[in-house]
Chains A and B, each alone.
Chain A
Amino acid sequence: MMSDFATTVVRNVDLGRGSFLIEFEDPGLGAAMRPAQFFMIGIPGNDVLLRRPFSVCGLPGTFDDATPGTLQVLYRVYGRATSLLASLKRGARLDVLGPLGRGFELRGDDAEIVLVAGGIGSAPFPAFLKELARRGRKASMIYGARSAAELPLLDWFEEHTERVTVTTDDGSAGTKGLVTLPLTSILGDKRKVHLYACGPNPMLKAVARLAVEAGVPCDLSLEAPMACGFGVCLGCVVPVKVDGETRYERVCVEGPVVPASRMAW
């Protein structure tokens, strides 16, 4: 059940190169929360007015070295709000609203699971991978970013997937190019796959187009500017096709996970 609660920062781990994993006390939400659901987190101080949306990254059992009784959020310092978040120390109060939205669902079939992440868009995948492992489902990952500096938790993903194919725009890690390069080759094999993708919108659009063309099921975890996170501001809408008509749906309530075939980009 969604609630607005004050919690306490337990750790705010600097993963290097601008990425952080913040850990805060779980008031008992973790057990019922789905991977890719999200929180609206209040930014300390008066500089930033609105809360910011963050996917849950670690649920109970996701990270072996997590503090018991905590949840984890992965973020990258990008602007004023995330800089302030990065300044929080153990014991700091954190205002958190959640869990919000619809997370990843797993179909009970034998499709091979391929995760496609773009930079900090890898955030919802640790919790999801742990769930897949518990259900005996294997997954591989395509992990793209602008450069080697923007691939947080890469070592963890290499340990917890069958294989990670890395692509970077500048060639500083993995293959030089976009995630669509390895994805095209996987889809060309005509294997039975199910894609789950999270990253910047241009990447998601490209992944969605390939998946729809190949007739492969693909769930996107979308990102959008949000004022409220619980469905009232109507600021985060995206165009979708419903019964042949285009209309707007809220990323915060009807998403953030939306089937690629539903999008009307």
Chain B
Amino acid sequence: MVTPDLSVEVGTVRLKNPVLTASGTFGYGLEFQPFLELSELGGLVTKGLSPKPRRGNPPERIVETPAGMLNAIGLQNVGVDAFLSDKLPKLRAFDTAVVANVFGETEAEYVEVCEKLDASSGIAAIELNVSCPNTECGGMIFGNDPASLATITRACRRATKLPLWVKLSPNVTDIRETARAAEGEGADAVTLVNTFVGMAVDVERRRPVLANVSGGLSGPAIRPLAVWMTWQVRGAVKIPIVGMGGIMTARDALEFLIAGATAVQTGTVNFVTPSSAATVARDLASWLTQRGIRSVREIVGTMRTT
């Protein structure tokens, strides 16, 4: 039996397979070395990087909900300088695409982080986080309005020659509008979706469970919503889509690929079973082999509705 070709191209970024790990669920990658070979991954997306370290929101920060979890971490991160000096040199040793997730409180901060990453080697792409629902200024103000998203994308596009992916918020009336805005300002790909804003209530105390009041919902609960948005965006833009939302298995990943995503990211499952992303990639290969399909590219965007 021939080993299927899992490689895909997200714009100019060539990935050995279409499975990446989502920002905020995979640390800086190195933490997962006890559980999997990082080189088995198509790529990894870092925790969101800001110009300065951030301490994040007060606890409680997470709560499990049916088939998912709410989080309000508040973009705690080491800052871009510490990432470049402490984490990136170690990540360069692995044969996988390192995608840096970027956010700021202002346009100038986004630009500052993009410029610093642009000057470094070993970054395959920048993913703009314009969709974090958990901080007042963590990007969602830029990501929920097509005009603001266009402005921030344009500024970052000028700040870097690296491939630019824009991570879209699902907390909008029509995700096709923000996807088109990203494409119009030169984004190389859109990644979708970030978490859905939600809330859980402690009924005994009559208080929100999370200190932040609301949080971002992730996990299998959001998968049908995310697959639907992938399908909608596929019909709205020409640039590649990196899809995510509750992917636990290769079959889940295939839903996104068939609906039109060129690659996928696994998120919450990395907390549950830290070796999952590598398993999804391997099982994807088996699925293709069993059906005699030679390349995963033969699957992408092949959904039939008639």
B64 at the interface (CB under 8 A from A): yes
A contact face: mostly helix, strand, loop, or mixed: loop
CB nearest neighbor in B for A248: B55
CB nearest neighbor in A for B65: A49
A50 and B34 contacting across the interface, CB-CB below 8 Å? no
A224 and B59 contacting across the interface, CB-CB below 8 Å? yes
Bound: A2/B35 CA distance, A: 9
**Interface mask (B24-52 → A, CB under 8 Å = 1, otherwise 0):** 01110001101100000000000000000
A111 at the interface (CB under 8 A from B): no
CB distance from A174 to the nearest CB of B (A): 26
B71 at the interface (CB under 8 A from A): yes
Given A1-B34, A248-B76 in contact, is the A232-B270 Cβ separation under 8 Å?
Answer: yes
| Chain B residues whose CB sits within 8 angstroms of the CB of A51 once the complex forms | 272
* B-side interface size class: 20 to 34
Given A228-B274, A239-B58 in contact, is the A49-B64 Cβ separation under 8 Å?
Answer: yes
Bound: A51/B69 CA distance, A: 12
CB distance from B94 to the nearest CB of A (A): 17
A89 at the interface (CB under 8 A from B): no
CB nearest neighbor in A for B73: A234
A77 at the interface (CB under 8 A from B): no
A39 at the interface (CB under 8 A from B): no
B68 at the interface (CB under 8 A from A): yes
B273 and A49 contacting across the interface, CB-CB below 8 Å? no
| Chain A residues whose CB sits within 8 angstroms of the CB of B25 once the complex forms | 232-233
Given A50-B64, A224-B59 in contact, is the A231-B31 Cβ separation under 8 Å?
Answer: yes
A210 at the interface (CB under 8 A from B): no
| Chain A residues whose CB sits within 8 angstroms of the CB of B101 once the complex forms | none
Q: Which of A48, A97, A232 contacts B27 (CB 8 A)?
A: A232
B288 at the interface (CB under 8 A from A): no
A3 at the interface (CB under 8 A from B): yes
A237 at the interface (CB under 8 A from B): yes
Bound: A226/B25 CA distance, A: 13
CB distance from A5 to the nearest CB of B (A): 11
A230 and B274 contacting across the interface, CB-CB below 8 Å? yes
| Chain B residues whose CB sits within 8 angstroms of the CB of A226 once the complex forms | 62
A235 and B71 contacting across the interface, CB-CB below 8 Å? yes
B56 at the interface (CB under 8 A from A): yes
| Chain A residues whose CB sits within 8 angstroms of the CB of B76 once the complex forms | 234, 237, 248
A4 and B61 contacting across the interface, CB-CB below 8 Å? no
CB distance from B269 to the nearest CB of A (A): 9
CB distance from B201 to the nearest CB of A (A): 15
A49 and B272 contacting across the interface, CB-CB below 8 Å? yes
B220 at the interface (CB under 8 A from A): yes
A97 and B274 contacting across the interface, CB-CB below 8 Å? yes
Q: Which of B27, B60, B71, B220 contacts A49 (CB 8 A)?
A: B220
Q: Which of A4, A48, A225 contacts B274 (CB 8 A)?
A: A4
| Chain A residues whose CB sits within 8 angstroms of the CB of B273 once the complex forms | 4, 42, 95
Bound: A112/B60 CA distance, A: 35
Given A225-B62, A227-B62, A234-B61 in contact, is the A49-B56 Cβ separation under 8 Å?
Answer: no
CB distance from B218 to the nearest CB of A (A): 10
CB nearest neighbor in A for B26: A232
Bound: A236/B58 CA distance, A: 10
Most chain B beta carbons < 10 A, residue from A49, A51, A236: A49
A234 and B31 contacting across the interface, CB-CB below 8 Å? no
CB nearest neighbor in A for B60: A225
CB nearest neighbor in B for A246: B55
Bound: A235/B212 CA distance, A: 12
| Chain A residues whose CB sits within 8 angstroms of the CB of B68 once the complex forms | 49
Most chain B beta carbons < 10 A, residue from A4, A225, A234: A234
B275 at the interface (CB under 8 A from A): yes
CB distance from B187 to the nearest CB of A (A): 27
CB nearest neighbor in B for A251: B59
A9 at the interface (CB under 8 A from B): no
B67 at the interface (CB under 8 A from A): yes
| Chain A residues whose CB sits within 8 angstroms of the CB of B300 once the complex forms | none
Bound: A233/B268 CA distance, A: 9
**Interface mask (A141-179 → B, CB under 8 Å = 1, otherwise 0):** 000000000000000000000000000000000000000
B64 and A237 contacting across the interface, CB-CB below 8 Å? no
| Chain B residues whose CB sits within 8 angstroms of the CB of A248 once the complex forms | 55-56, 58-59, 76
Bound: A192/B16 CA distance, A: 62
| Chain B residues whose CB sits within 8 angstroms of the CB of A228 once the complex forms | 270-271, 274
Please name the 6 residue pairs, one residue from A and one from B, whose CB atoms are nearest each other, closest first.
Answer: A235-B62, A232-B27, A228-B271, A227-B271, A235-B61, A234-B73
Query: Could you name 6 residue pairs across A and B whose Cβ atoms are closer than 8 Å?
Result: A42-B273, A225-B60, A232-B271, A233-B25, A234-B76, A237-B76
**16 other A-B residue contacts (CB within 8 Å) besides A226-B62, A227-B271, A228-B270:** A1-B34, A4-B34, A4-B35, A4-B274, A4-B275, A49-B67, A49-B68, A49-B219, A225-B60, A227-B272, A230-B31, A233-B71, A235-B62, A236-B61, A238-B59, A248-B55
Residues of chain B at the chain A interface (Cβ within 8 Å)? 25-27, 31-32, 34-35, 55-56, 58-64, 67-69, 71, 73, 76, 219-220, 268, 270-275
